[in-house]
C-alpha cells in the first residue's frame, strides 16, 4: 500500500478511514 500512496497520495486518507484489510496485488512482466 505504501507504493500505491506514492503513486496516488489520496490513498493515504482512505487508508486512515478504513479498518478493513486492503489486498494489494503486484504484477510483473515475465522475463524474456
- Measured CA to CA, the distance from residue 24 to residue 8 in angstroms comes to 14
CA distances from 25 to 7, 22 (A): 15, 10
Ranges of each domain in the chain: 1-31
- Measured CA to CA, the distance from residue 26 to residue 29 in angstroms comes to 10
Q: Enumerate residues 6+ apart whose C-beta is below 8 A from 1.
A: 11, 15, 22, 24
> How many other β-carbons are positioned within 10 Å of the β-carbon of residue 12?
13
pLDDT in tens, 1-32: 778 888 889 888 888 888 888 787 888 999 98
pTM for the model stands at 0.43
Q: What is the pLDDT of residue 28?
A: 93
Q: What is the pLDDT of residue 2?
A: 79
Amino acid at each position: 500500500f505504501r507504493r500505491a500512496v506514492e503513486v496516488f497520495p489520496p490513498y493515504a486518507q482512505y487508508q486512515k478511514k478504513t479498518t478493513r484489510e486492503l489486498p494489494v496485488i503486484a504484477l510483473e512482466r515475465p522475463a524474456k
